[in-house]
Amino acid sequence: MNAWKVFLFNLLRRLIGTETVEVRLKPREKFQGPIKILGISGSPRGAKSSSHKMLETLLAHARSFGAETKVIMLCEKKMKPCEGCVSDSDRECEFPCIHCDDDTNEILQAMIDADAFVFATPVHWSSPSAAIKILIDKMTAIEENRYEITFKNGKEPLFGNPCVLLASQEGDGANMALGWMAGQLRAMGVWALPWGQVFKPNLLNRKLVRIGLRVINQRKFEWVDNTMRADGRNLVLISRMLKESGYQWDDFKYLEPNC
């Protein structure tokens, strides 16, 4: 919204003495299209990375349930770190983000258009990769401008979108990395599904190890593949249920003063 509209809007609100404004989104036709799942691949090692392979496996399961999938490999994109405009004032954090000369806005727009997400990351010192951290920081531009984006698109960005989080690790730290991601994403309205945090020890990518585990009938590590199969299915079916119900997470009755 431009400054004049905001000024008039707030003036009107003061004159009629109300802080509560009900805004109804345009009624939508019953959802019919495919569920759009955006996969974010966060390893600096690109297509050969273990976390990227996990992502491709999960998306293949999702496609078998009718999803349309798209992958963004962050190591192929340029994204400057967040400059923290929101810390000056809520209104300083804009969408599109002020970084117009890198790929930030292309990635954020793909997130706005998606119905569900899969994030894949290596564990780097018990954290997600630096690229994933930068992306989560920059998602603030969507979160801070979600009313404007909603009114423009007729669809809430991020809010209520289910996600699955995948990590590849050598030994330890995935729970911290994925737990942190789940917490921050939830604060922006994106929720990790039940069973939606999957980590794979790198050792399991070795063929000999996998054969060895089968020979000694040690099957407990098969939970990784089984869970990813379930996640691909759940991500599509839960997203479809939500879209078909037309459920809105916010009733948009309470607009923030400067929206």
Ligand X SMILES: Cc1cc2nc3c(=O)[nH]c(=O)nc-3n(C[C@H](O)[C@H](O)[C@H](O)COP(=O)(O)O)c2cc1C
**What distance in Å separates the CA atoms of residue 233 and residue 48, rounded to the nearest whole number?**
25
The H or E element spanning position 225 is helix 223-245
SS3 198: strand
Of 74 and 108, the one with the shorter C-beta distance to ligand X is 74
Judged by DSSP in three states, 196 sits in strand
| Among positions 69, 169, 197, 227, the unique one binding ligand X when judged by CB under 6 A | 169
3-class secondary structure, 163 = strand
CB of 123 to ligand X, least distance (A): 4
* CA nearest to 254, candidates 14, 10, 20, 18: 20
CB-wise, 45 or 233, nearer to ligand X?
A: 45
- Residues 83-102 interacting with ligand X (rule: CB under 6 A): none
Of 126 and 184, which CB lies nearer to ligand X in the complex structure?
A: 126
Q: How far is the CB of 167 from ligand X (least distance, A)?
A: 8
Question: 98: closest CA among 82, 77, 118?
Answer: 82
140 vs 169, beta carbon nearer ligand X: 169
126 touches ligand X by CB under 6 A? yes
Applying CB under 6 A, which part among 1-9, 87-95, 143-151, 163-171 lies near ligand X?
163-171
Termini Cα distance of the chain:
8
State the residues that interact with ligand X by CB under 6 A: 43, 45, 49-51, 122-126, 168-173, 202
